[in-house]
Amino acid sequence: MGYGAQQLSYALCVLIVLSQPRQEAPSAQSTTVSAVVSAATEYVEKYEAEFAYLLGSEVYRQQEDVAIPSMSGRPSLGTLGNKATTRRVLRSEFFLTFVQSSAEWIAVRDTVDVDGRPVPNRRSVQAMLAGSSASAVARELRDRNAQFNLGRVQRNFNEPMFGLRVLERRHVDRFQFSLNSVDKGRSGTLATLRFEEKREPTLIVSPLDHHPIYASGQLTVEVITGTVRRTVVRFRDTGVSGEIETVYSLHPALGQWLPSELNEKWSGDSVTVIGTARYSDWHRFEVKSRIR
């Protein structure tokens, strides 16, 4: 090939390259409320479908402040010295799974010791699950979780996965969402959504007469992946209000975002209960009997 032909060939190559359609940089994921809720709902659906049986360690610290009547006869939590404080520390094995057939989270707090004292006649998680389905004994398991709760506020849903229920397809349409903030950082773009439950059946009902208790709160979500990083669920009923916050952290060995921290606060007539749980050592848990 002569010099002129080489020039022509080169010119044609340049022309072909320059005439190719310009590749657009991928656009940023939408931060509209509907887009973020949709991504988070898809994430929760996949997360629950793939969730395996996990066992971890939990250290759960609780504090109850009870107002003592002042000289006027009226109790007050706002005055230093006018309250009685009780503290408790629970150390537990924490079993966690999602049951597909009943579409429910099963969380078993297998308390090993209370304030350093071993729990007498303790039934292990393995013994409870052997030979029977977790769904069939779900109520028993939830009540067991609550038996060592400090305070006069009755509750049996202080469990870390509770906030994910807001984003489940069977529930999400009952909530109204709005955008609270968008934060861009090295780990990606995070959107914080506010939510309010608008119609029945509500996630929580009164244990006394089963009237609906409407939930509200916040969700922090990775915009691109829908990964839920944080949930806050608040409740208010006659004479009592509550808040449960769960913080998720990436567990590299398991490749999942798992609960690392739970914070709760409950306030009633002249009493406030604060709880903080820390989770660690998550690992796979072999279940010999089928959980259904």
Residue 149: the pLDDT is 84
Residue 26: the pLDDT is 39
Q: Which domain holds residue 156?
A: 29-284
Residue 28: the pLDDT is 53
In a domain, 242, yes or no: yes
In a domain, 203, yes or no: yes
Torsion of CA 252, 59, 232, 136, to 10 degrees: 90
In eight-state DSSP terms, residue 207 is T
In a domain, 60, yes or no: yes
Residue 58: the pLDDT is 96
In a domain, 22, yes or no: no
Residue 24: the pLDDT is 40
In a domain, 17, yes or no: no
Cis, peptide link before residue 201, omega less than 30° from 0: yes
Residue 83: the pLDDT is 85
In a domain, 2, yes or no: no
CA neighbor of 96 nearest in space, from 129, 130, 62, 119: 129
Tally the domains of the chain.
Answer: 1
Maximal C-alpha separation, the chain: 109
Residue 269: the pLDDT is 82
In eight-state DSSP terms, residue 165 is G
- Enumerate residue ranges in the chain where pLDDT < 70: 1-29, 70-81, 126, 131, 133-142, 144-145, 152-156, 287-292
In a domain, 291, yes or no: no
In a domain, 20, yes or no: no
> pTM of the predicted model, to two decimals?
0.83
